[in-house]
Homo-oligomer: A and B are copies of this chain.
């Protein structure tokens, strides 16, 4: 059986149920366990499903949403919880900057329609336009790995704008070294965007805390932090230096 055919079968199976056992797929396709495992790895990488112990599960970000039911569901992934809160901060009529990156991307479903978005994230544009949101891209070098626009062109473009709010992804949050990211070119863009905004928000899950990446973006106090769970000690440590919102389930 051909690979595309198997993939088809697997995805079809996931349309019916929320999850399938690996063993079921083995029988459905008359292939070996190994082969199905390899397929699942591929499909997971392509973001078509999520592997779980014993098989695969439909991923909820994808495709249709019973959107309202999902929103109200208490089991949003942490990332989406944060994104939902961040999105709720945006008001009708706002002009906001959205940084590139998957965390910020997750905000899009939770944005109001009547806003203007400026972004350096190529991947965001389609989603934003789908939602009928007026979207501007800054210029710059298209970084192959992250599809972010950076460099001189990005900085030049940014200077023509001012924002009500900006939402940033970072790689490190540290009480002493502030916000950091691996690429200095990206750091410059982020820094500038923050300085052009009335209110700046760093959106991050707890894994970035106490991490330090190569290039500094800005000091802690220059942006508020939106995150999910955080142990009380760590929270206290940052709370004195900047505003920090912990989104709980």
Interface 1/0s, chain A 48-59, versus B by CB < 8 A?
A: 000011110100
Q: Does A135 contact B (CB under 8 A)?
A: yes
Partner of A125, one of B53, B122, B135, B136: B122
Report Cα–Cα, A52/B20, bound state, in Å. 25
- Complex CA gap A132/B145 in Å reads 11
In the complex, A19 has a CB within 8 A of chain B: yes
Chain B residues, CB < 8 A from A135: 141-142
Q: Which of A31-70 contact B (CB under 8 A)?
A: 52-55, 57
Number of this chain's copies in the complex: 2
Output the least CB separation between A36 and chain B (Å).
Answer: 14
Q: Shortest CB–CB separation between residue A139 and chain B, in angstroms?
A: 4
Is A156 in contact with chain B by the CB < 8 A criterion? yes
User: What residues of chain B lie closer than 8 Å to A122, measured between beta carbons?
Assistant: 122, 125, 137
Q: How far is the CA of A63 from the CA of B144 in the complex (A)?
A: 20
Q: Is A140 an interface residue (CB 8 A)?
A: yes
Kindly specify which of A2-10, A93-101, A106-114 makes contact with the partner chain. Answer: A2-10
Contacts of A136 in B (CB 8 A): 139-142, 151, 153
Q: Which of B3, B18, B137, B139 contacts A54 (CB 8 A)?
A: B3
Determine the distance from Cα of A105 to Cα of B122 in the docked complex, in whole angstroms: 17
**Cα distance A52–B53 in the bound complex, in angstroms:** 27
The 8 Å CB contact of A4, one of B8, B52, B129, B134, is B52
* Contact B129 A157, beta carbon cutoff 8 Å: no
A interface, CB within 8 angstroms of B = 2-5, 8, 17-21, 52-55, 57, 122, 125-126, 128-129, 132, 134-142, 144, 147, 149, 151-153, 156-157, 160
A136-B151, A157-B157 given. 15 additional CB < 8 A pairs?
Answer: A2-B20, A2-B55, A3-B53, A4-B18, A122-B122, A125-B147, A126-B147, A134-B141, A135-B141, A136-B142, A136-B153, A137-B149, A153-B160, A156-B156, A156-B157
**Pairs A–B under 8 Å by Cβ, sample size 15:** A2-B19, A3-B52, A3-B53, A4-B52, A5-B17, A122-B137, A128-B142, A134-B141, A136-B139, A136-B140, A136-B141, A136-B151, A137-B139, A138-B153, A156-B157
